[in-house]
Amino acid sequence: MDNQETVRRGRPREFDADVALDDAMTVFWEHGYEGASLTLLTDAMGISRKSMYAAFGNKEDLFLKVLQQYERGPGAYVRDAVGAPTAREVAESYLAGAVRAGTQPGRPAGCLGVKAALAVGAAGQGVQDIMTAWRAGRQADLRGRFQQAIAEGDLPADADAELIARYLTTVGDGLSVQATGGATRTELQRVADATMRHWPLI
Amino acid sequence: MDNQETVRRGRPREFDADVALDDAMTVFWEHGYEGASLTLLTDAMGISRKSMYAAFGNKEDLFLKVLQQYERGPGAYVRDAVGAPTAREVAESYLAGAVRAGTQPGRPAGCLGVKAALAVGAAGQGVQDIMTAWRAGRQADLRGRFQQAIAEGDLPADADAELIARYLTTVGDGLSVQATGGATRTELQRVADATMRHWPLI
DNA sequence: CCAATTACGCACCGTTCGGTGCATAAAACA
DNA sequence: TGTTTTATGCACCGAACGGTGCGTAATTGG
């Protein structure tokens, strides 16, 4: 991590790396990994190709850094959700977060993770693997949280944490796809509400 | 429709258009619309660029014809599902079909429609619109079927056909995403079974 | 002031993209 | 047979792709 506190020698860069990452995020979000060309990216970031390569490495590195920023920003709802006090609130929070993140007014529709994972082709095989692992990690977080809930008696002892987590991520993924297809926030929240009517999904 | 019964003048083509379409389907399915390059497509189809253009028009036309073939083949489960005698069987059949279609041994994972719809970027805006309309049509088919079920007394009078249809397609879309991420058929069928445990989703 | 270091703008690299011109081959019509 | 029509193979098009070499601008350290 290059801290901005460390005094850097040489000509200082003329742009804010975090802002540039956020601009790049929008482009990747809208066009997917392969659809986001360097011209599109650097135009949105307001910097030259050379500056982008100097600051972030290459396109794949840039995407990885965007993904980290996404996890701290719009994608933080997963981390927030597993911190909820009860399993029901975890599920509620997760679905509501997926709806909100997928239908933010100033952002492209859907989930960056879902979109980029599906949009990557033969090129960027590394990106494909990383996205798969990333989504698997989110599912594992939920599964762990539900296992904990079972241990605490918050969920029935015969509940299947793996199944519940997979079901929840499946609905979340579906919500992202629906959002990409143009579904509105209220429409999707209604689906999330309907999903929660059967909790805890024996 | 150019029938093969009509006697065609000139040199006959040396390949089967349906087989070629099926080969192209695999490529689009695996790489998405933009990720499927003409070289990839024509190599898989075993024909030259020129033959492909003469037979199908251009890349977008080819994709549209592939999509029609997909609807008649692997994607036929939607049409089959709405033909089931009861609303419950419609839902069951739809989800099971989504699981099966997304985890066919010889085919790429997931649903061609979902994958291509998300994978398309700025280019192929027409394709993007067509995919959105296509998926909306499938949802409308389900909604109409559930409205009929309400009219028949098969579903409660206060059931929300629109919501049920959207929920079902959301889960179906999610299953496709999960399949793309490497989930197995039994894992996904378990999710489908869990979904059906709460039918009719008041 | 001068050297070292870093950032920037521009022009350019080789490759691949979707799509085409053209000569030739193979069939139906006359 | 000869003409017309269609299919095919090959080479090629301009544009866009991800990525880079190089000269110059701006800063820190001496």
Distance (Å, rounded) from C-alpha A11 to C-alpha A136? 42
CB-closest option in A132, A136, A175 to B170: A175
**Confidence band, pLDDT 50/70/90 cuts, at residue B131:** confident
Q: With 90 as the cut, is the pLDDT of residue B68 above it?
A: yes
Q: Which position has the token pair 């995020």? A: A25
Residue type, B38: L
Contacts of B122 in chain A (CB under 8 A): 30-31, 35, 40
Residue of B173, B186, B189, B190 for testing the chain A interface, max A β-carbons within 10 Å: B173
> What pLDDT is attached to residue A122?
60
Taking the stretch 33-72 of protein chain A, residues with Cβ within 7 Å of any atom in nucleic acid chain D are 34, 36-40, 49-50, 53, 58-60
Is residue A3 very low, low, confident or very high in pLDDT (cuts 50, 70, 90)? very low
Q: What are phi and psi of B3, to 5 degrees?
A: -70, 150
Closest nucleotide to A123: CA versus each C1': D18
Query: How many C-beta atoms lie closer than 10 Å to residue B54's C-beta?
Result: 11
Omega before A200 within 30 of 0, i.e. cis: yes
Please determine, for residue A73, whether its predicted confidence score (pLDDT) is greater than 60.
yes
Which amino acid is present at B109?
A
Compute the distance between CA of residue A155 and CA of residue A87 in angstroms, rounded to an integer. 7
Contacts of B119 in chain A (CB under 8 A): 32, 35, 118-119, 121
Distance of CA A10 to the CA centre of its chain: 36
pLDDT of A2 higher than 90: no
User: What local confidence, expressed as pLDDT, does residue B100 receive?
Assistant: 97
Q: What is the distance between the alpha carbons of residues A25 and B112, in angstroms, rounded to a whole number?
A: 26
Nearest CB to B170 within list A117, A163, A191: A191
Q: Which nucleotide is nearest, taking the CA of residue B61 and each C1'?
A: C18
Cβ contact B35–A121 (<8 Å): yes
Chain B residues in contact with A171 (beta carbon < 8 A): 170-171, 174
Our measurement of the distance from residue A139's CA atom to the centroid of its chain's CA atoms, rounded to an integer in Å, reads 12
Taking one residue from A and the other from B, the number of pairs with CB-CB distance under 8 angstroms is 134
Is the preceding peptide bond at A108 cis, omega within 30 degrees of 0?
A: no
**Joined tokens for residue A183:** 């579904």
With beta carbons under 8 A apart, name residues in chain B contacting A166: 178, 183, 187, 190-191
Cβ atoms of A64 and A133 within 8 Å: the answer is no
Could you read off the pLDDT of A166-179 as tens digits, one per residue?
999 999 999 999 99
Residues 6+ apart with CB under 8 A from A156: A150, A200, A202
Amino acid identity at A66: V
> Within 10 Å of residue A154's Cβ, how many Cβ atoms?
18
Asked if A166 lies within 8 A of B118 by C-beta distance, the reply is no
Cα separation, B40 vs B53, in Å, equals 14
Residue B111 has pLDDT above 80, yes or no: yes
Tell me whether residues A170 and B171 touch, CB distance under 8 A: yes
Residue of B118, B67, B103, B77 lying closest to B180 (CA atoms)? B103
SS3 B13: coil
- pLDDT at residue B202, rounded to an integer: 63
pLDDT on residue B4:
44
**Over the stretch A137-164, which tens digit does the pLDDT of each residue have?**
999 999 999 999 999 999 999 999 999 9
Q: What span, in angstroms and rounded, lies between the C-alpha atoms of A107 and A30? A: 8
Which of A146-153's residues contact partners 24+ apart within 8 Å by CB, and which partners? A146/A87, A146/A90, A149/A86, A149/A87, A149/A90
pLDDT of A16-39, one tens digit each? 999 999 999 999 999 888 889 999
pLDDT band for A202, please (50, 70, 90 cuts). low
HEC readout, B108-139: CCCCHHHHHHHHCCCCCHHHHHHHHHHHHHHH
Query: At A165, is the secondary structure helix, strand, or coil?
Result: helix
- Average pLDDT score over residue span A57-66: 95
Contacts of A201 in chain B (CB under 8 A): 194, 197-198
Question: Are B178 and A170 in contact (CB < 8 Å)?
Answer: yes
Residue B199 approaches strand D within 7 Å at CB = no
Query: Distance between CA A50 and CA A48 in Å, rounded?
Result: 5
pLDDT 10s digits, B143-169: 999 999 999 999 999 999 999 999 999
The single-letter code of the amino acid at B64 is L
Is pTM beyond 0.85? Reply is yes
Where does the pLDDT of residue B130 fall: very low under 50, low under 70, confident under 90, or very high at 90 and above?
confident
Q: Do B34 and A34 touch (CB under 8 A)?
A: yes
Query: pLDDT (tens digit, 9 = 90+) per residue, A77-136?
Result: 999 999 999 999 999 999 999 999 999 999 999 999 888 877 766 666 778 888 888 888
Answer whether residue B121 shows pLDDT above 80.
no
Bases on strand C under 7 Å from any protein CB: 4-11, 16-22, 25-29
